[in-house]
Every structure is written in C-alpha cells, then in structure tokens.
Amino acid sequence: MKKSRFTEHQIVNIPNEPEAGVPINELARQYGFGRSTFYKWKSKYGGMQVSELKRLRELEAESRRLKQMYADLSLQHQALKEIVEKKL
C-alpha cells in the first residue's frame, strides 16, 4: 500500500482549516495537494480525531486480512468439492 506523505494529524486537521477562513485553493497550494483530495478527506475524515483515524486504519487492515482469508478458504472449499464430485 502506498504510504501517504501526509501525517494522520495533518489529514484530520486540514479539512477543518476552511472553517477558520482559509481558502481551499490556498490550502492546496500550501500543502501540495489537489482540491479533489481535500474534498475526499473532508467526506471521509471530517470531524474525526487522530485516535479515531488510527483505529479506522487498524479496522481497514483487519478487514483486508479477513477478506483474504475468506477468499483462500473459498478456493480450498471449491477445490475439495470438485475432488469429492469426481470420486462419486
């Protein structure tokens, strides 16, 4: 997975800066990201704290791991099912 060049603290706090009167274009130029990135962060992380963001990332990693485990087990089950059908 690609590592972000922004810290979790920045990702949580940047979407809140326009409320203090900083224009979005100024933020984009200052931090070096696009407007679409700002709106994506705002919709996903708006109102979050840094600890909540860390927990979210942990849960997403666990979800990816569990989906991979399910896919592996599903393939094994399918292969075993085919073997049993051939024997009958």
- Give the model confidence (pLDDT) of 11-30 as tens digits: 888 888 888 888 988 988 99
CA–CA separation, 27 and 53 (whole Å): 21
Q: 69: domain range?
A: 51-88
Residues 34 and 58 placed together within one structural domain of the fold: no
Cα–Cα distance for residue pair 32/21, rounded to 1 Å: 19
Q: Kindly state whether residues 2 and 44 are assigned to the same domain.
A: yes
DSSP 40-80: HHHHHHTT--HHHHHHHHHHHHHHHHHHHHHHHHHHHHHHH
Residue 32 is classified by DSSP as T
Asked whether the predicted pLDDT for residue 51 surpasses 80, the reply is: yes
Q: Are residues 16 and 29 in the same domain?
A: yes
Asked whether residue 1 falls in the same domain as residue 44, the answer is yes
Same domain, 16 and 42: yes
The reported pTM is 0.62
